[in-house]
Structure 1
């Protein structure tokens, strides 16, 4: 049992695939190259002490025994103990191989899987928000506010799509006008700084909502992100409405910054349940305006399309595409693959 560093990715069927975030974990099995992907009900990470127990609960629902596993986790993939960013699980592939009798395990970052999904999904799973025509092999950026703020990119080179993972959700975020300065005084900081993830995720919506309320001397009425976004969408609460407007503006700015970094002529893709839930707010012009407000390059930004990924399990679709046709993707497995030899 060794860590594998070669780049020849051929996984033996059946293959277990999994998208594991801070709150939810989604699994599926690919029996062979021709079979449809069999998906299982979403599970809550808080319901299981370890990822191995969660996977075993999935395998108990079928008589199929996987030989390989391709897992995408919300974490930095380093070493034999991978600590999840926003939940208590620690992924230990060597132990997993023994506990679950899986011979070959690859672990990727969860937003690498979202990046893979961008080329695996059809137009029916994408809601376009302005911009020009996406370049067929143009660079692409994926970001998604969820339990945290995931960020990745997808580059095309040598006839393959190469996902670029990172921790872009932790870049600095700051105010640009007097009202935002007033609100930012009340945003919760981490070690003296406000990162994008402090605002652009589920708990970030709550942080921002509280800050808006405090700036106005009001008592917050809501404690859950779903309550705030719903009240913001139907405009039934003034504080929630302003919070949602600011959230969309900040999301547009961060998306625009990332689009400039990668010059994403292939588009910017918003992933995750929050983007799907607040779609009406994303299409009202505020997101696009903030995205394009990047002088002296606003004329370039106007041509870059934004898409909301509407597929409910996009990451699994991306993992399945990689598992079936690995040569289509330039995925680096060095230090991220464990295999019995």
Structure 2
């Protein structure tokens, strides 16, 4: 049994689809090409020593259906025969999953490739425009999502296929623009001297912003988590509210940069649970203005839609869309597909 070296053309049903992050794992079964995914309760990765036990206990023991294929999105780089997740103790061993759990084949993708697959067929009801809606085009799309880190992926249209492009775009540099930014930047935690987008635009980044704001104003910050910063904003805490406002502005800036990088006339999509939690406190007009503030191409950015994804379990929906018809996607499976 060796990894194949061609793109997937068809997959055998039933298909297990899974979105495995640092904290949670979500699974669903796709019985056939016309069925909607049947989701299972969310799994806490800390509750199981490995993915094998989680699939057995939370999926296979709960149904009489034996999936023949599995398409799993992992929060981590996919290399070799043992794939370690970035923020989780699980190690995914595809050969062992096939031999122990009865799959005929397994395909592994990056978690933000799954988000990119989702925006290839996202219904209008599954997204919400941020600011004015722009003009929806047929070009490339971008998805970025603040979570444990900052995930980024592109989706390019070519030869009647959607081609997801994964990378580490969350680690691009983020620099100060305004006087307030210049006051904050010396107080932000860095990685080897760098302020990357992920240092600000993720869960710990929101706390990083809160702490920097406090210190810039001459106060020692109170201990906080991302959830408690959001709660403090809801209770009227001025520092927490400014942290969230700036989070939205910086997210708009980075989204605009990525729109230029991919010439994303098909839109830029914000995914991830963090934005959903803080959205009531984000100044959407300011976020949209930061998105468009890209001279000399501000006029171009005014035409690009910026959306928040509101569809629950969007990554699973993206995996299901791919699993039904892999031939419509230029998803590279070299060294990422294993067969019995």
What is the TM-score of this pair, normalised by structure 2?
Answer: 0.95
1:69 maps onto 2:62 in alignment: no
Contact 1:22–1:74 (CA under 8 A) maintained in structure 2: yes
Query: Aligned residue for 1:154?
Result: 155
Give the match for residue 46 of structure 1. 46
Tell me how far apart the structure 1 counterparts of residues 100 and 193 of structure 2 sit (CA, whole Å): 42
Q: Give, in whole Å, the separation in 2 of the partners of 1:283 and 1:161.
A: 33
Equivalent in the alignment of 1:132: 134
In structure 1, C-alpha distance between the alignment counterparts of 2:210 and 2:46, rounded to whole Å: 25
Matched, 1:228 2:264: no
Q: Distance in 1 between matches of 2:196 and 2:47?
A: 29
d(CA) in 1 for partners of 2:283, 2:118: 22
Q: 1:204 to 1:140 in 2, by over 3 A?
A: same
- Asked if 1:143 corresponds to 2:144, the answer is yes
CA drift of 1:326 comes to: 1.3
1:218-269 Cα distance to aligned partner (Å, 9 max, x none): 233352212212333x361111011111111110111010000011000000
Q: Give the Cα–Cα distance (whole angstroms) in 1 for the partners of residues 195 and 49 of structure 2.
A: 31
CA–CA distance in structure 2, aligned partners of residues 257 and 333 of structure 1: 29
Cα offset for 1:6? 1.3
Say if 2:85 is the partner of 1:80. no
- How big is the shift at 1:302? 0.8
Whether the 8 Å CA contact 2:245–2:282 is kept in 1: the answer is no
Q: Which moved more, 1:50-59 or 1:164-173?
A: 50-59
SS at structure 2 position matched to 1:185:
helix
Counterpart mapping for 1:87-98 below 5 A: 87-98=88-99
CA contact (8 A) 1:118 1:318 kept: yes
Give the Å deviation of 1:161: 0.8
Indicate conservation of the 8 Å contact 2:71/2:108, yes or no: yes
Q: Which moved more, 1:286-295 or 1:50-59?
A: 50-59
**1:183: which partner in 2?**
184
Alpha-carbon deviation of 1:98? 2.0
Q: Distance in 1 between matches of 2:133 and 2:125?
A: 18
CA distance in 2, matches of 1:219, 1:63: 57
1:131 and 1:302 in contact (8 A); partners too? no
**Partners of 2:73 and 2:41 in 1: CA distance:** 17
Q: Given that residues 86 and 148 in structure 1 are in contact (C-alpha distance below 8 angstroms), is that contact kept between their aligned partners in structure 2?
A: no
State whether residues 115 and 315 of structure 2, in contact with CA within 8 Å, keep that contact through their aligned partners in structure 1.
yes
Q: Provide structure 1 residue ranges, at least 5 long, that are not aligned to the other structure.
A: none
SS at match of 1:156: strand
1:68 CA drift (Å): 0.7
Root-mean-square deviation (CA, aligned residues, Å) is 1.5
Shift of 1:177: 2.3
Q: Which moved more, 1:270-279 or 1:260-269?
A: 270-279
- The range that moved more, 314-323 or 214-223, is 214-223
TM-score in terms of structure 1 length: 0.95
Residue 27 (structure 2) aligns with: 27
SS in 2 for 1:280: helix
Give the conservation status (yes or no) of the 8 Å contact 2:26–2:42. yes
Q: C-alpha displacement at 1:185, in angstroms?
A: 1.3
1:306-317, aligned counterparts within 5 Å? 306-317=306-317
How many positions carry a matched residue from both structures?
Answer: 338
Partner of 1:298: 298
What secondary structure does 2:106 align onto? strand
Alignment of 1:318-337 (within 5 A): 318-337=318-337
